Amino acid sequence: MKEQNSRPIKDTVESILNHLKKKSLIKKEEIITAWNKIVDKKIKNHTRPIKLRDNILIVNIENSNWLFELETRYKEEILNKLRDEIKKIEIKDIRFRIGDV
């Protein structure tokens, strides 16, 4: 016997996926806002946060020179500032990769 308030499984799954997508977009916007607030202009002009995957922030960078600079000089500082700025989103690490900025 079918319940009156039951929904097809397809509708339930779509609803859950839409909710997760919205949550993901909110996180991305918070991260981008924080990134733009904490990094200085010279870094901001050569980088772009792309996504948060498994609590690791993926950031595109312009070239290998910036990759070296960010990995060796700025990574820990940026990571700590992000953690301070966005306490409700856990960021375990930052991975820099050469890509579209």
Fold of 9-98: GMP Synthetase; Chain A, domain 3 (3.30.300)
Q: How do the domains of the chain map onto residue ranges?
A: 9-98
What is the token pair recorded at 51? 């996504």
Q: What is the pLDDT of residues 4-63, one digit of tens each?
A: 567 788 887 887 877 776 677 678 899 999 999 999 999 999 999 999 999 999 999 999
Q: Which residues contact 90 (CB under 8 A, 6 or more apart)?
A: 55
What is the token pair recorded at 3? 């319940």
Q: Which residue has the tokens 């890509």?
A: 99
